[in-house]
Amino acid sequence: MDEKAMIHDWNVAGPVTSVVHGPVELDDETLRDGLQSPSIRDPSLDEKIELLHLMDTLGITTADVGLPGAGPRAVESVDILVREIKTAGLRIQANCAARTKREDIEPIVEISQKHGMPIEAYLFLGCSPIRQYVERWDLKKLLAISSGGIEFAVAQGLPVAFVTEDTTRSDPETLRPLFLNAIEKGVRRLALCDTVGHVSPAGVINLVRFVQGVIKESGEDVALDWHGHQDRGLSLINALTAIAEGVTRIHATALGVGERVGNTSMDQLLVNLKLLGVIDNDLTRLREYVELTERALCAPRPRNYPMFGEDAFRTATGVHAAAIIKAQEHGDDWLVDRVYSGVPAGWLGLTQHIQVGPMSGACNARYWLEHNGYKDDPKLVDVLLGAAKQADHVLSDDEITAILTGATAGTGVESRSVEPTR
């Protein structure tokens, strides 16, 4: 079978393409921005260490291990995570968030020197007109605040990224001098932030191209980061657009946890980058990463969550189930995983599931019987399908077992009595 001939890809088969090229670095913000969600709990240190190891296993490049300027507990957490990276020989590199203030930067310096390990300092400053108005700042004040923090961090030997909060609502007359000043002071990475999830893909393109022009004007080799939020539901497509425009590091969090409705989802980003051929990471432990995040942060997934929701790879629709079953008859796992799925479940250590419900056909019933130790008996198929057609939900395995037990005992089952199990 010619696999390439099986799927026509309109993503790349036309005059209008936004080609996502690699390489791209991924910065995991789960243990910093992710913990700013108002609904989660701060994981234990053991859970944080376990998450850090999973990030490393998944090939994530860097991790924001915290904001030590937040207080002693944050300092302790950052210290332990940095020590773990060093002693365990992890490939992932550490960075920390900080305001452009000496008191925020000093703990990063101390931890870096203590462990003899570089920690990239992401120094952030709000600069949008609305923020300036609220804070009673002007451009002169912004330049003074940022200069002091950057100069101190650079003098202490820290690699420094300058982060403009709310970049996507900031004007070019402010961004240009701030960026040029930061670069002059020694910054070699700029992080563009969609802090309140304001921007659309068109805005990403306009902003990135503007900043690339500023970098070119500076004459220095400066990398670009993208940090997006999910308020309009656009964070993933915005991240992919940023990569297509030349941004080389994307920030994201497990399950998209974060401030308000959250950040770009790291798990969704990884899968999409693999589908696009940008990365070839082994994602079989991605489910473990998602499930640990859900458990450690008390961040439950919706059932329809992409890739890892309960419904991601299950169907009870007759037409869909029939196609999957026919694909299985070809004896080709590649075909089974794609005939009714845009994401190969096998990449994630998962499989397709066929269930029985009111939209099912006889193939669903036969499939369930075959895979649960029953004979392919036409009478059982009729009983099961009849009950399913009268139900108002997809039947659970326990419900089906009860239906079949009644049928085989000769007692019959009142189909309308079926209720969902909780």
Summarised one tens digit per residue, pLDDT across range 256-275 is 999 999 999 999 999 999 99
Structure tokens at 228: 């997006």
CATH classification of 20-297, choosing from 3.40.30.10, 3.90.70.10, 3.40.50.720, 3.20.20.70? 3.20.20.70
Whose tokens are 């036309």? That residue is: 14
Structural domain spans, the chain: 20-297, 314-417
pLDDT at 38 > cutoff 50:
yes
Structure pTM? 0.91
Query: Rg of the chain over CA atoms, in angstroms?
Result: 26
Instruction: Give the whole-angstrom CA distance, residue 194 versus residue 344.
Output: 30
Tens-place pLDDT, residues 277-304: 999 999 999 999 999 999 999 999 999 9
pLDDT for 18 equals 62
DSSP 331: T
Query: Cα–Cα–Cα angle for 197, 289, 80, nearest 5°?
Result: 90
Structure tokens at 330: 């070809």
- Residue 406's pLDDT band, with cuts at 50, 70 and 90, is confident
Task: Out of 49-63, 109-123, 208-222, 320-334, pick the least confident.
Answer: 320-334
CB burial class (10 A; 0-12, 13-18, 19+) of residue 56? buried
Sign of the Cα pseudo-torsion (246, 248, 253, 254, in order):
positive
- Residue 119's pLDDT band, with cuts at 50, 70 and 90, is very high
Asked if 142 and 127 touch (Cβ cutoff 8 Å), the reply is: yes
Instruction: Give the whole-angstrom CA distance, residue 364 versus residue 318.
Output: 6
Instruction: Give the whole-angstrom CA distance, residue 228 versus residue 247.
Output: 13
Instruction: Give the whole-angstrom CA distance, residue 327 versus residue 333.
Output: 8
Instruction: Give the whole-angstrom CA distance, residue 302 versus residue 304.
Output: 5
162, β-bridge pairs:
123, 190
- Phi then psi for residue 191, to 5 deg, are -110, 120
